[in-house]
Structure 1
Amino acid sequence: MTSKIVVFGATGYTGRLVVSSLLGRGERPVLAGRSEDSLKSLANPHGLQYLRADVSDPSTVRALVQPGDVLVSTVGPFNRHGYAAAAAAADAGAHYLDSTGEVDFVHRVQQEFSARAEGSGATMVPAFGYDYVPGTLAGALAAQGAGTPGGYLRIGYFALGSLRQGISGGTLATLADAFGRRISVYRAGSLHSRLLGSTTYAFRVRNHARRALLAMGTEVLFLPETYPGLSVVEVYNGWFPRFSRAAGAVSWAAAGLSRLPGGRNAMAKAVSLVAAPGSGPNEQVRSRSGSYAVANLSDRHGYTVVEVHVQGPNVYTLTGELLAEAAVALRRGDAVSAGVQGPVGAFGLDGLTALCARAGLRVV
């Protein structure tokens, strides 16, 4: 039987982008989600199959895939709703991709499902979107360009053009949940905990210095495995350079609020008032911005050894394209390793570079 691509969360904002990208490649994905009416309205115009599945009943998610299928999950926040899909893929021996930006979720998937997926021959690649494929690609190219690096790898994410009215409800919810939390950085062979936004770094973007705040990134989990000579791996976000200097104080305040009874719920409720679930910028708004990432590899004295820049379309457009292109590649058998992998581990650096180029992400 021919393997299939299943998009779980197909009627959400990111899910719709993935479905559109797959259709543009001539694919016929199976759509899955909670609402049968929403699935029907999305599937019928294209003559697509749809299946109802809900994370509150994991057996319905498990029924979506068989060995060799590809499951693309866009159901977030992933720490609350993502494990059912990851477990279903690992149990079934199905390949797996998701759109998470939550690094602690990725770390748990790595710990819990890697051996199971490796045993079944499945390749699971979480966080295969704007978070964090561009930085992984740039960082891997920088590390390879340096030979056997022993330096400091700092990766910065930036937006080109205006992001006004250009951030989805899911992104706002993830950012709000992240402030006040501790994130991981890689130093001298192990992960260390730091407060999000507690420091900043200035990157060169199109010959201008742009400051970015310390942020979460799966690069700290996967790049040291491929390039064990790296001494430090840190990820920064520079979407809002003017905010970067104040981010530390905001994060400390959020950390204090989250320790109060009901504090974390109050922050989540505040975000929900301005960020409707499933909402996001339309095609016209997305066309006004692009994505950019920089990997700066420096020596212990702070001198740059290698710097790599990558550029692509709008962050949400790019996420849809990357997930669609990777789903096709996994079904085609392009993966080079089974188990829970980062982008380089899953496809190899040459394969990842070619895959990203097909999705619109290219080295500048």
Structure 2
Amino acid sequence: MTGNLLLYGANGYTGRLILEYAERHGLSPILAGRNESAIRELSSQYDLPYRTGSLTNADEMDNLLKDISVVLHVAGPFSETARPMVEACLRNSIHYLDITGEIPVFEYARSLDGKARGAGIMIMPGTGFDVVPTDCMAKRLRDQLSDATHLELAFTSIGGGISHGTATTMARSLGEGGAIRSNGKIISDPLGNHSRHIDFGKGPQLVMSIPWGDVSTAYHTTGIPNIIVYTGIPPRIHRILKLQKLYNWALRTGWARKKAQQWIDKKPAGPSPETRSNSRSYVWGQVRNSQGSSSTAMLTCADGYTLTAHSSLIIAKKVLEGNFSNGYQTPAGCYGSGLIDEIPGSAWL
């Protein structure tokens, strides 16, 4: 294993969790972020080197990335932070990984495939719960039914919670609606417009359509032109969200998003270790072809944050070991559906 790994956003909730698991994966990242006092404190705690720099200053970013081989970018919201970091990685020929789940970020990264190949680097957003388990599911099903035309993915969690960073990303997306892929194109679709019941192992559960990252990435991984992603939802909440199209205009206002952010800032940074340990995630998938044949699979894995810490470190280590493909890549597209088997707590059902 050669080269240095830079963990940017190390002082955030997920960044700190990644640090907890880094040693067991044989990694000693250089810590980085915008808040020098917080990064310096972590550096002292873990006895790791640190650097600071602002994403808005290109010169600072270039200095930050000196002697770096791989960046693991975990400072969201990625709709605002991904572009400057990706641009810095392209300028300096450094591999880029992040843990986004935002469709526009995936599409932006995909548009840079040629530039990434020219720079001799890999750009792989989505190395966490968004989208590793679902991407592995999509790849496995596509391998089972090679002429599939439709892909449906669904996930649900028992227990768990969300971090400030994830909640902030959601707050800044208020009123934006949903998305699906139809005939190869990503199209706007009202949030929760599609719903069905899926048995994740404890009886049928209502799921609704959401704009999950796989609407972008699964097409790159599988070539399947029609994709819908669902998540488990209580029926009462689903009924409320289906009406969101009537008040999206209000949710998109600065006032609404500011109020949401103020509420988020009063909450804990993220789920406690006990909450995470008592949480499980389940992923279901189904493909079908034009002749009516289908294939279905399901897997279980750790809570989203624990999985993200492990999966992002596993992928970062692969890249440091020279196991990567240049250009824009997806997790399962590059490493196969078996990637999920390498992540602690994961199993096909």
Verify: 1:196 aligned to 2:191, yes or no. Answer: yes
Distance 2:179 2:279 in 1: 29
CA contact (8 A) 2:152 2:229 kept: yes
For the structure 1 residues 224 and 81, does the alpha-carbon distance in structure 2 shift closer, same or farther, using more than 3 Å as the test?
closer
Query: What is the TM-score with the length of structure 2 in the denominator?
Result: 0.92
Distance 1:346 1:278 in 2: 36
Verify: 1:170 aligned to 2:165, yes or no. Answer: yes
Give the counterpart letter for 1:105 in structure 2: V
CA contact (8 A) 1:173 1:268 kept: no
CA contact (8 A) 1:128 1:319 kept: yes
Distance 2:23 2:278 in 1: 23
Pick from 220, 239, 243 the counterpart of residue 237 of structure 2: 243
Distance 1:97 1:331 in 2: 12
Distance 1:239 1:356 in 2: 27
Give the counterpart letter for 1:69 in structure 2: S
Deviation sequence 1:197-220 (CA, Å, 0-9, x none): 222222221152111121112322
Matches within 5 A, 1:67-106: 69-106=69-106
Give the counterpart letter for 2:120 in structure 1: G
Give the counterpart letter for 2:144 in structure 1: G
Aligned to 2:245: 252
Distance 2:124 2:234 in 1: 28
SS at match of 2:343: helix
Distance 2:84 2:268 in 1: 20
Give the counterpart letter for 1:213 in structure 2: M
Distance 1:300 1:2 in 2: 47
Aligned to 1:358: 343
Query: What is the TM-score with the length of structure 1 in the denominator?
Result: 0.88
Pick from 308, 318, 327 the counterpart of residue 316 of structure 2: 327
CA contact (8 A) 2:21 2:309 kept: yes
- The gaps in structure 2 that reach 5 residues or longer are none
Distance 1:94 1:332 in 2: 14
- 1:12 is displaced (CA, Å) by 0.7
Distance 2:241 2:290 in 1: 26
Mean Cα deviation higher: 279-288 or 217-226:
217-226
SS at match of 1:292: strand
- 1:283 is displaced (CA, Å) by 0.9
Distance 1:45 1:200 in 2: 47
For the structure 1 residues 84 and 278, does the alpha-carbon distance in structure 2 shift closer, same or farther, using more than 3 Å as the test?
farther
For the structure 1 residues 225 and 25, does the alpha-carbon distance in structure 2 shift closer, same or farther, using more than 3 Å as the test?
closer
Give the counterpart letter for 1:132 in structure 2: V
Aligned to 1:296: 286
- 1:255 is displaced (CA, Å) by 1.3
Distance 2:233 2:304 in 1: 11
Matches within 5 A, 1:1-364: 2-66=2-66, 69-111=69-111, 113-150=112-149, 152-160=150-158, 162-163=159-160, 166-228=161-223, 230-238=224-232, 240=234, 242-249=236-243, 251-258=244-251, 263-276=252-265, 279-299=269-289, 305-335=294-324, 337-347=325-335, 349=336, 352-354=337-339, 356-364=341-349
CA contact (8 A) 2:332 2:339 kept: no
SS at match of 2:239: helix
CA contact (8 A) 1:196 1:214 kept: yes
- 1:362 is displaced (CA, Å) by 2.8
Distance 2:120 2:248 in 1: 41
For the structure 1 residues 177 and 300, does the alpha-carbon distance in structure 2 shift closer, same or farther, using more than 3 Å as the test?
farther
- 1:236 is displaced (CA, Å) by 1.2
Give the counterpart letter for 2:338 in structure 1: T
- 1:304 is displaced (CA, Å) by 7.1
- Cα RMSD between the aligned structures? 2.3
CA contact (8 A) 2:221 2:330 kept: no
- 1:61 is displaced (CA, Å) by 2.2
For the structure 1 residues 168 and 253, does the alpha-carbon distance in structure 2 shift closer, same or farther, using more than 3 Å as the test?
farther
Percentage of pairs with the same residue = 24
CA contact (8 A) 1:201 1:211 kept: yes
- 1:66 is displaced (CA, Å) by 4.9
- 1:309 is displaced (CA, Å) by 1.0
Distance 2:338 2:234 in 1: 28
